[in-house]
Amino acid sequence: MPEPLLSIENLRTWFHGPAGTARAVDGVSLAINPGETVGLVGESGCGKSVTALSILRLVRPPGRIEAGSRILFEGRDLLALSEREMRAVRGNRIAMVFQEPMTALNPVFTVGDQVAEVARIHAGASRRDAWTQAVAMLDRVGIPAPDERARDYPHQLSGGMRQRVMIAMALMMRPALLIADEPTTALDVTIQAQILELLAELQRESGTSVLLITHDLGVVAEQVSRVVVMYGGEVVEQAPVAEIFARPQHPYTQGLLAAMPALGDTRERLQTIPGTVPAPTAWPAGCRFHDRCSLAWERCGAEHPGIHAISDVHASRCHLAVEPQRRAAATTT
Amino acid sequence: MPATSLAAIRHELTRPRRAAAPLGTAAGTRAALAALIVLGVIAIVGPYLWHYRPTAQLDIVALKSTAPSWNHPLGTDRFSRDVLARVLFGTRISLAIAILAVLVSATVGTTYGVVAGYAGGWIDAVLMRLIDALLSVPRVLLLIAVLALWNPVPLWGLILLIGLTGWFGVARQVRAQALAVRDRDFATAARALGAPPWLVAWRHVLPNVLSPVIIATTLAVGDVIVLEAGLSFLGIGAREPMPSLGTMFQDAVAQSVTAWWAVFSPGIVIVVIVMAFNTLGDALRDALDPRQLPGHAMHEHPEPVDA
């Protein structure tokens, strides 16, 4: 087993508001190996994006990464770095692509200028060198006539083109880790496929690790090698992608998969998971999913389940892992 | 009757709303721009085009308060000085004071607002309470008090004093915008790419908060022209014999019945300057609606390049 590139241990990012403490990320542990693509999956509000922002230490007050959290990256604990050292990591060793290409580019500068800015920050490149590199990078992400497009302002480009620009900015310094936070959610379906294909291709070329945040299991199936499912600020299940689709263990993962349409699906209605994600200021006692879970019993409301290994590579945060007979009982009744 | 009022309501609801007209299409705006260009030219080259000097007392006996004539198209004042020469020069002085003072206000206010809005937290709280305190002092009284002690005040002193008492409103507006802009996606994206705070503030926040500054600054020029005229009228602004529009007005107002031309000319110029800047400011407000940030307007644009 190689040394992981990124290893998050017991990450807790809490927001201390007047209405109470929102435990948005509450004890997340996960690892990403060099060159690996990991999918981070879950509903809105489960803590995916806050996890991503925590890795880059971009959580704004009143949000705070609590003591005891560790984020090991290339052998260093990012949480122990100074702000200055951290800036040398951001955009350089770890880069991020945001969900909304419409708003993630500054409307008052040309896109070439904004891509070039990255090289100016990290490589201290001259204005002219940075511009040349930016045009080359725009070419690499498949933007036609890059030297002309570089002089365009963001509003002159389509959503797909803008997302390519964001990817160009993120990959400019050849980072070891790329965090893509719902990179295709805001795009048309046809463009989504192109952007995902581009990401996969660039990853094959450069060997960058990718943390792909999404709520779209279809995207996960095609893109990632391993899946981490989050619920209520916690990791509830993780396994290789084939294993997740073939043998999901956690009732929440099963619910997500059942809610997904499949080709040749004859169901009249897609299945849904009843209820909504509870507020992070008041996670339910016991298992955080128990009041939405059709398999829950008394133990689930009383005792918070730990992570149970199903196999070497598969783990689930569910009491069913230690009482599997419960599952059989629930399905027969 | 109900039918007609219904029709009227329907008409009101469906009639096309006046879209924000591009700057310079409305007749009023064009007139204002034209007036400002003329006044600007007058301020810069006017004094060289007219052969009388604004401070020359030509003939204190024969030319005292003479009515407009060929030789003196706007007449002479009670010290036998040529009013046209004084208006040309006074326009330069008044516009210079107003524009420079407003630039001082805009610079200080914008910097202050960006720092407060971007820093947030206790820095923001302290800076904003300070503004509240400063705003509670009436500007004119403060200026009168300071100018009474600093007498005679040089021109640069007057500019600084007016400028440094006029930035509180701008700072507040900029701070509110900066607070919103610093958490917008592109600012977060810039931080995620490793941009240091000063760079995020300078490149990503500042350019996106300038619309209200431009509007407020344009409108403020008119206010400052009036303020300077008022201070001069009270005898604590620009000093005689240097003609600002306000000092001319003050100087001539006592003879306004017998020598109306000496009051009338600077008065008209003040009115034209103020109206022109106010009209332009309103037009800018329409064109750069501060509630509509640049990033939000982009969905209305055609998207010519496809992925």
A213, β-bridge pairs: A40, A181
| Choice among A10-19, A184-193, A280-289, B218-227 with the minimum mean pLDDT | A184-193
Under a CB-based contact definition with an 8 Å cutoff, are residues A163 and A110 in contact?
no
pLDDT score for B6? 64
Q: Judging by beta carbons within 10 Å of its beta carbon (0-12, 13-18, 19+), is residue A67 exposed, middle or buried?
A: exposed
Pick the residue from chain A with its C-alpha nearest to B192: A90
pLDDT score for B282? 84
Average pLDDT of chain A is: 86
CB proximity A91 to B under 8 Å: yes
Asked if B194 lies within 8 A of A92 by C-beta distance, the reply is yes
Give the Cα separation of B262 and B232 in Å (integer): 16
Find the mean pLDDT for residues A188-196: 83
DSSP tag of A319: G
Helix (H) or strand (E) holding A227: strand A226-231
Chain B positions in Cβ-Cβ contact with residue A195 (cut-off 8 Å): 307
Q: What is the pLDDT of residues A100-144, one digit of tens each?
A: 877 888 888 899 999 999 988 888 888 888 999 999 989 888 888
Q: What is the pLDDT of residues A260-299, one digit of tens each?
A: 777 677 777 777 787 777 888 888 888 888 888 888 888 8
Task: Give the distance from residue A103's alpha carbon to the nearest chain B alpha carbon, in angstroms.
Answer: 6
DSSP E strand stretches across A45-93 = 63-65, 70-73, 76-77
Sign, CA dihedral A105-A110-A112-A113, equals negative
pLDDT score for A223? 82
Asked if A156 lies within 8 A of B305 by C-beta distance, the reply is yes
Give percent of chain B above pLDDT 70: 85
Phi, then psi, of A163 in degrees rounded to 5: -70, -35
- Omega before residue B152 within 30° of 0, cis: yes
For B226, half-sphere exposure in the C-beta direction (CA atoms, 13 angstrom radius) is 12
With 80 as the cut, is the pLDDT of residue A162 above it? yes
Q: What is the pLDDT of residues B97-149, one digit of tens each?
A: 999 999 999 999 999 999 999 888 899 999 999 999 988 888 888 888 888 88
Provide the 10 A C-beta neighbour count for residue A190. Answer: 10
Question: What's the length of chain A?
Answer: 333
pLDDT score for A57? 92
CB proximity B183 to A under 8 Å: yes
pLDDT score for B22? 55
Q: Which tokens sit at B182?
A: 């610093």
Q: What is the pLDDT of residues A205-262, one digit of tens each?
A: 888 999 999 888 888 888 888 999 998 888 999 999 888 888 888 888 888 888 877 7
Establish, for the pair of chains A and B, how many residue pairs have beta carbons separated by less than 8 Å.
Answer: 103
pLDDT score for B131? 93
pLDDT score for B305? 45
pLDDT in tens, chain B (307 residues): 455 566 666 665 555 544 455 555 678 888 888 888 988 888 888 777 877 777 777 777 777 777 788 877 787 877 778 888 888 888 888 898 999 999 999 999 999 999 999 888 899 999 999 999 988 888 888 888 888 888 778 888 889 999 999 899 899 999 998 988 888 888 988 999 888 988 898 988 998 888 888 888 888 888 898 888 888 878 787 776 678 888 888 777 777 777 788 888 888 888 999 999 988 888 888 777 645 444 444 334 444 444 3
Task: Give the distance from residue A31's alpha carbon to the nearest chain B alpha carbon, in angstroms.
Answer: 21
Task: Give the distance from residue A61's alpha carbon to the nearest chain B alpha carbon, in angstroms.
Answer: 9
Task: Give the distance from residue A167's alpha carbon to the nearest chain B alpha carbon, in angstroms.
Answer: 11
pLDDT score for A306? 86
Task: Give the distance from residue B17's alpha carbon to the nearest chain A alpha carbon, in angstroms.
Answer: 24
Give the Cα separation of A322 and A25 in Å (integer): 25
List CB contacts of B204: < 8 A, sequence separation 6 or more.
A106, B181, B186, B187, B190, B195
Question: What's the length of chain B?
Answer: 307
Helix (H) or strand (E) holding A68: none
Helices B168-181 and B121-135: crossing angle in degrees, nearest 10, is 160
Give the Cα separation of B80 and B157 in Å (integer): 30
CB proximity A147 to B under 8 Å: no
Q: Which tokens sit at B209?
A: 């908060």
For B277, half-sphere exposure in the C-beta direction (CA atoms, 13 angstrom radius) is 24
Task: Give the distance from residue A154's alpha carbon to the nearest chain B alpha carbon, in angstroms.
Answer: 8
**Could you tell me what percentage of chain A is helix, strand and coil, using 3-state DSSP and rounding each to the nearest 5?**
35, 20, 40
Helix (H) or strand (E) holding A45: none
Q: What is the pLDDT of residues A168-183, one digit of tens each?
A: 998 888 899 999 988 8
Asked if B304 lies within 8 A of A156 by C-beta distance, the reply is yes
3-state SS, chain B, equals CHHHHHHHHHHHHHCCCCCCCCCCCCHHHHHHHHHHHHHHHHHHHHHHHCCCCCCCCCCCCCCCCCCCCCCCCCCECCCCCEHHHHHHHHHHHHHHHHHHHHHHHHHHHHHHHHHHHHHCHHHHHHHHHHHHHHHCCCHHHHHHHHHHHCCCCCHHHHHHHHHHCCCHHHHHHHHHHHHHHCCCHHHHHHHHCCCCHHHHHHHHHHHHHHHHHHHHHHHHHHHHHHHHHHHHHCCCCCCCCCCCHHHHHHHHHHHCCCCCHHHHHHHHHHHHHHHHHHHHHHHHHHHCCCCCCHHHHHHHCCCCECC
List CB contacts of A148: < 8 A, sequence separation 6 or more.
none
Under a CB-based contact definition with an 8 Å cutoff, are residues A97 and A183 in contact?
yes
Give the Cα separation of B159 and A107 in Å (integer): 35
Give the Cα separation of A61 and A237 in Å (integer): 29
CB proximity B199 to A under 8 Å: yes
Q: Which of A10, A42, A15 minimizes the C-alpha distance to A29?
A: A10
pLDDT score for B31? 86
Q: Which tokens sit at B144?
A: 């009168």
Residue listed under structure tokens 């005679």: B152
* A 205-244 → B contacts, CB under 8 A: none
**Complex-level ipTM:** 0.83
Asked if A163 lies within 8 A of B307 by C-beta distance, the reply is yes
Pick the residue from chain B with its C-alpha nearest to A57: B192
Task: Give the distance from residue B186's alpha carbon to the nearest chain A alpha carbon, in angstroms.
Answer: 4
Report in angstroms the alpha-carbon separations of A138 from A112, A132, A160, A166, A309. 8, 10, 13, 10, 44
Under a CB-based contact definition with an 8 Å cutoff, are residues A36 and A209 in contact?
yes
Angle at B45 between CA B40 and CA B50, to 5 degrees: 125
Give the Cα separation of A79 and A67 in Å (integer): 9
Asked if B303 lies within 8 A of A159 by C-beta distance, the reply is yes
Q: What is the pLDDT of residues A76-104, one digit of tens each?
A: 999 888 989 999 899 889 999 988 877 88
Under a CB-based contact definition with an 8 Å cutoff, are residues A260 and A307 in contact?
no
Give the Cα separation of B240 and B167 in Å (integer): 28
DSSP tag of A75: T
DSSP tag of A90: B
Q: What is the dihedral of CA A321, A326, A331, A333, to 10 degrees?
A: -170
CB proximity A52 to B under 8 Å: no
List CB contacts of B109: < 8 A, sequence separation 6 or more.
B166, B167, B168, B169, B170, B171, B174, B213
pLDDT score for B111? 93
Pick the residue from chain A with its C-alpha nearest to B300: A155
Cα R_g (chain B), whole angstroms: 24
Phi, then psi, of A214 in degrees rounded to 5: -160, 160
Strands in A226-231's sheet, in edge-to-edge order, are A94-97, A177-181, A209-214, A37-41, A226-231, A234-240, A315-316, A308-309
pLDDT score for B15? 53
pTM over 0.80: no
Q: B243-281: b or e for each residue (b if 16 or more CB lie within 10 Å)?
A: bbbbbbbbbbeebeeebebbbbbbbebbebbbebbbbbb
- Residue among B192, B204, B305 minimizing CB distance to A96: B192
Pick the residue from chain A with its C-alpha nearest to B306: A158
With 80 as the cut, is the pLDDT of residue A73 above it? yes
Q: Is A325 helix (H, G, I), strand (E, B) or coil?
A: helix
Interface with chain A: mutation pick from B118, B179, B186, B288, highest number of A CBs within 10 Å: B186
A14, β-bridge pairs: A64
